[in-house]
Copies of this chain bind each other. A is one copy, B any other.
Amino acid sequence: MRIDHVAVAVKDLDSAVELFTKVFGGEVTWRGRVEEQGVEVVRITVNGVDWELLGGIGEDSPVTRFIERRGEGLHHVSFRVDDIESEVERLKSLGLKPVSEKPTKGSKNSLIFFFHPKSLRGVLLELCQHPE
């Protein structure tokens, strides 16, 4: 496992992109919508690890609700794996609680899978598998 990105829920994507690229000096390497998660995403790569800025699409988006409840801030951490299906099974066997049934489409055309924060000391963990 290798850290892939750290995700931040923000109210306004454009101003956040401007601030993060100034502060961290990275560059935008992907921007798009992930409809399955109800988010618009900007990825900023800083020395091989990305910030993933998340803006909610509409009031029902989990990210919009996250911000209403907790404010803007750190949302999840994602680790890159080679074989997401087998890693999901391994982490389930360690007691981590899956959020969904199956991997779904994420940013950068990856496959992603979330584990519930309650099973990892409050940390929302994502696994991601990138296309080769």
Bound form: Cα–Cα A82–B87 in Å: 36
A73–B117 CB distance below 8 A: yes
A84 surroundings in chain B (CB, below 8 A) = none
Copies of this chain: 2
- Size of the A side of the interface (Cβ < 8 Å), in residues, is 34
A86 within 8 A of B: no
Please report A residues at the B interface, Cβ cutoff 8 Å: 1-3, 6, 8-11, 16, 19-20, 22-25, 46-47, 49, 70-74, 77, 79, 91, 94, 96, 117, 120-123, 125
A-B contact pairs, 17 of them (CB 8 A): A1-B24, A1-B46, A1-B47, A2-B46, A3-B46, A3-B47, A6-B77, A9-B122, A16-B121, A19-B121, A23-B91, A49-B49, A72-B121, A73-B121, A74-B74, A74-B77, A74-B122
